[in-house]
Structure 1
């Protein structure tokens, strides 16, 4: 048998907010009529916190007031209120802990990425210095010798030194030269760039500046001239 006091109390609260029936309260709060029945029985311990919050919102009373109004005894009310507060605290604590863990993980990832970036940069610099070792070691001495003795043929000394280092660097990076300066080759508009005039695909042209590719990627197109332009 229903506790008439709880039913009456609920009806009074419903009347205060303009709700005429228990079914209307069920629809307004978005809870089942069985939950309304539990409230009329004063069996709040069988009701979820979410349901109590919805009913309190519709009835325009706080959670503490709802618990105090529909509990069998004050002791039960205090226990349930304490449980509700504990659930709130536990949920809030868990959320704050998860946020703190996410922030810590974000900082750790940033630090790892920065360390990897620095490591890669150091490795790149080290490998490049090893490839350019001969240029770094011998270029200053060769340049000084040319300054001290203008009679020396600088081209014969410096050009091979630079070319050797450049070849090693390009080879290490997988960069290949396309054609060679002065070569006469069939014109290919996908690989070649005319310095002047126009040319038909397959027409023989002369290389003025070589191009470069890296694997299947074209880095720089070969710059060419028509033979008629070169001869003219």
Structure 2
């Protein structure tokens, strides 16, 4: 079978539209909820590039079975030597299944990230205050609270699994970076030494909280 031209498929589409009283491609797009770009694909016989939900909408608007729509606007031969209607349906459904699987995976990733962000917001006060409190306890092992430190290890492990890491430990002395550090007092120029009072956090390339620091020259 010779490849049909765009005009042949356009005429076929117009013929189906006339049967159901649809006057124009724009009217068909409105009636079916399908974009005119997708209609252009149909007129070009690019059925294999179209999603099955789009084809279903068009088949309903044009009042023709899905398999008839596929065979009318493609080079698929449904003769005994080249396939059958069930095979066409299976191919179309497989395409839609793969699309839905990819969509579900994207939604799963988005929900997981949303859960992590909401959890970190709930834990914000603990994240910012605990490292400083733990640092002071470690400086004085005689305090009773020293026994509580191991109990927080599961939380630290969870943060590691989520890819959340501290910018710098409490008490660290390092060059001032305005993008990563927030001054609690005084002033400092980029590159000048500051001391971390409250740690900050980042997750992968995203900054969650800036570390709170104080200039060394001001104590």
The structure having more radius of gyration, on CA atoms, is 1
Higher-helix-fraction structure: 1
Return the TM-score normalized by structure 2. Answer: 0.38
Return the TM-score normalized by structure 1. Answer: 0.36
